[in-house]
Structure 1
Amino acid sequence: AFALLVESVLSSPKGWGGDGARAFQRVSTGPVSFRVTLASPGTTDRLCAPLVTNGIYSCHQGERAVLNSWRWTNGADSFGTDLAGYRRYMINHEVGHALGKGHLYCTSAGAPAPTMMQQTKGVGGCTPNPWPLPYERG
């Protein structure tokens, strides 16, 4: 189920490939550009080191987007009860790092937060948003 959701999010027209500039393909073996891994908090901490994830955050490290299973199960306050939306955000945010994207910030109150904003920690005056905004894709 996890791999199918990742594949669905990455192939969505709303996602990183939505502008036609890139495409994603799930493979079982062979060389890859990056991997998306759902890991326990302890394993997340280990895979993300030297980044400090404190058992509660996810990361991108090397060729791996590491999604913390505690967050996957519990979500984040910024997304309220929208766990499905938060999971899409987790995938898009960490894959964004795998694509070379850095963190962004809320620049317009009431607007959708950039996917590359650390929405797990809050959205400032923006609204939670799981999908990359058009300007983030470039």
Structure 2
Amino acid sequence: VGADVIINKTRWDGAVQHWFDAGATLAQYRTMVINHEVGHALGHIDNETPCGGNKQAAPLMQEQSMFLKECSPNTWPLDSELWSTFVGSEP
């Protein structure tokens, strides 16, 4: 919300069953949640990159806590989700 990153405690403590059913761990779920919510703080929106299906890695900004569709759990942004525009002063 705004500049704050808010995590659902119930899901932080236990993830969601479909995450475990897909073979992923609680530690991986927590990594995904932090990265996903920080993605929002950086301006990304949910589901801006469609799921590729066929057990491909789910886009980070897919609402993986809600569904995986036919994708595999994923904790980090896909290349297609990375912004390439440099923001800030040149090093």
Q: TM class by shorter-chain length? A: 0.7 to 0.9
**How big is the shift at 1:64?**
0.6
TM-score (normalizing by structure 2): 0.79
Q: Percent identity?
A: 38
Measure the CA separation in 1 of the matches of 2:29 and 2:80.
21
Q: SS where residue 103 of structure 1 aligns?
A: coil
Runs of 4+ aligned residues of structure 1 deviating over 3 Å after TM superposition are: none
Aligned position for 2:19: 79
- Count of paired positions: 78
Measure the CA separation in 2 of the matches of 1:108 and 1:74.
25
TM-score (normalizing by structure 1): 0.54
Matches within 5 A, 1:80-119: 80=20, 82-104=25-47, 105-119=50-64
Measure the CA separation in 2 of the matches of 1:68 and 1:101.
19
Q: Which has the higher contact order (CA 8 A, sep 6+)?
A: 2
Q: Say whether the 8 Å CA contact 2:32–2:75 is kept in structure 1.
A: yes
- Taking only aligned residues, the RMSD between alpha carbons, in angstroms, comes to 1.2
**How big is the shift at 1:108?**
3.0
**How big is the shift at 1:79?**
1.8
